[in-house]
A and B are shown apart, each in its own frame.
Chain A
Amino acid sequence: MENGKGKRVEAIDDQLQLPESIIQHIQSFLTGKEAASTAVLSKSWYNSWLTRPALDFDERNFQNQNLDPQNDDKFFNFVKRSMERYHGLNLTIESFKLWMNVRDVDSSSLATELIVKAVKMGANGVNLEFSPPISEYILPKELFEAESLVGLSLAGCKIFSGEVMCLRLKSLHLSKVCVEDDMIRDIMLGCPLIENFVLSDCEGFVKVNVSKMVELKRFSVIRHVTNPVVFRSPFIEFEEQSIGSIIDGRPNLSEFRKLSCLFLERVKIGKMLFSDFSNKFPCLEDLTVHHCVGCFIFNISSQSLKYISLAHTRRLEVQLDVPNIRKIKFSGSSIPSLTFITASREWESDIALSCWNYLGVSWLLELKKFLMNLSPSRITLRIELFTENRIDCLPVIQGLSKPILENLILMAHSSSSVSSALLDGIFWSFRPKPLPWKTLLDNVESPEKEVQIRFLLRWQSPENAGPSHGPLV
């Protein structure tokens, strides 16, 4: 049967037979090991696997518990044989994935050989991960000279400065990579089409200028090392000293026009990140600011923002003007203050509080105030209790309105954390919608559990709701 399209289509039986290209596409969704195991299914699956355009070489598949020294050879042999076969058949590939332990000259030269060959075979997606992280392995220069490269993900290696010719690069993900300033600059300038850029725990450079990346849609900076990072629009500076300085530059308003997702974790920020927000980031829909230092009181004003995620252990005070918001997430150990100047009509809040300190009545009142501010939204509240808590007297809050909780989840890490007084306090303060009592006390040990469960069943019955609050149902 002929097919008008110029793709790799073979004759299709009337039976439920799939052509090789589709089989290969399905195999590309499986891990290297699973895909190899499909080779035994049938001849067409076998042949499809032998010429698959998505190569995935993972050394961990060849390591078993025996630590058989022969296993090293098995991986080397398999990989070499595969590459020879592809070379012999003059095949091209679409993507190349490699996980390798590079600890000596042999493995290092094998890795280089593989990468160079993969690039020659036309791979446009390359994903390399080396162990141990930030190994001394230096990537071959051919990688950045590959003009076909569209997606590149690197972990645990070094990049030496060289020519950057991968003009079509759209996605760059660097994790635990060591790269120098001028190479970063060459990449930023040489790859104007980058839409997705992730820098996670990288080192070796001081400045990252993303101002020329006009196509940038998703930008993440994650830093787990203690040196703080200065984010100065449009620059990100990685300071060597422990205290960076924030220079008040006037941002160039034409930058970041397409940025739709910004993720900052443990980065040092300043208040001017949030100034003129709508103009700086006109398309930003997703903003994540987790555990960033330097600024705990700020305003966010944006027409485009739909998803905000904040996290900190210190107390945050945020004023929000976000008419199109769909979801706000917060996670932390201090109850923040989130006030809304504008919000949309229907949105969700997902709050996760971890409690390490003694919880008193004031905590409950503060939590109630916080939740009242979030009231127009559908609130999911997760409280994780790590220490013993005692609440000595119930807060007198009858007759006042109570915030309604869509979902309430309590996780206790010790049986003494969940006292009946605490539960009393919670049920007096908020109005959780009825939820199966099972989910509430999953982590509490059994003798306490029974007491708590009986208590809850008592609460769930309408008679106990009292006249001023209406039924709990």
Chain B
Amino acid sequence: MIPLPLIDGRTLARVITYLNKHTEDDASDEAKRKFDEEFLYGMEVGVLYDAALAANYLDIGGLFHEVCQRIADGMMNKSVEWVRKTFHIESEFTSEEEVQIKKEYAWAWEGVDSNAD
């Protein structure tokens, strides 16, 4: 028995599903890619986070890569407020601090529609 204190049963079950598919002998690369797409499609943010933590803890490179890529894809071209809301990120910044950061790294905001959703 190997206790895994940091992972709950549901997440572990998902991880095992992923591993089973990826260690199948006759699963082709396209089949695996298709599986990954369906597996991660529509996953809630909380579930994605759990999967990322679990994959990181268990050192499962492939799954960790896919989940992080998915989270990154979800953040692209979205406004700051949207990302914070969707990904449950609490900003501890005051509005002055926020303005300061945006000023300091103004180049990162150039050409970006701040209200893009």
Contacts and interface: CB of A to CB of B under 8 A. Distances in A.
Interface of A: 1, 3, 5, 7, 12, 15-16, 18-19, 21-22, 25-30, 33-34, 36-43, 45-46, 61-62, 64, 74, 78, 326
Contacts, number: 90
A366 B107 CA distance: 58
B13 to A, nearest CB: 20
Interface in B8-55: 28, 45-46, 49, 52-53
A376 to B, nearest CB: 19
B8 to A, nearest CB: 12
A38 B80 CA distance: 8
B108 A41 contact: no
Interface string B46-80: 10010011001101000010001101110110001
B80 A41 contact: yes
Report, nearest first, the 5 A-B pairs whose CB atoms are least far apart: A29-B72, A36-B108, A16-B88, A37-B108, A42-B91
Contacts of B90: 15, 42
Given A3-B57, A30-B75, A62-B107, A41 B84 contact: yes
Given A16-B45, A16-B46, A29-B68, A38 B75 contact: yes
Name A's interface SS.
Answer: helix
B114 to A, nearest CB: 10
Nearest to A43: B92
A61 B75 contact: no
Nearest to A326: B28
A39 B111 CA distance: 17
A56 to B, nearest CB: 11
A337 to B, nearest CB: 29
A81 to B, nearest CB: 10
Interface of B: 6, 28, 45-46, 49, 52-53, 56-57, 59, 64, 68-69, 71-73, 75-76, 80, 83-84, 87-93, 98, 101-102, 105, 107-112
A241 B83 CA distance: 58
A12 B53 contact: yes
A21 B56 contact: yes
Contacts of A16: 45-46, 49, 87-88
B15 to A, nearest CB: 15
Contacts of A40: 80, 91, 93, 98, 101-102
Contact of A61 (B87, B93, B108): B108
Given A18-B52, A40-B98, A41-B83, A33 B108 contact: yes
Nearest to B111: A64
Given A16-B45, A78-B107, A34 B76 contact: yes
Given A33-B108, A37-B112, A42 B84 contact: yes
B69 A29 contact: yes
A45 B75 CA distance: 13
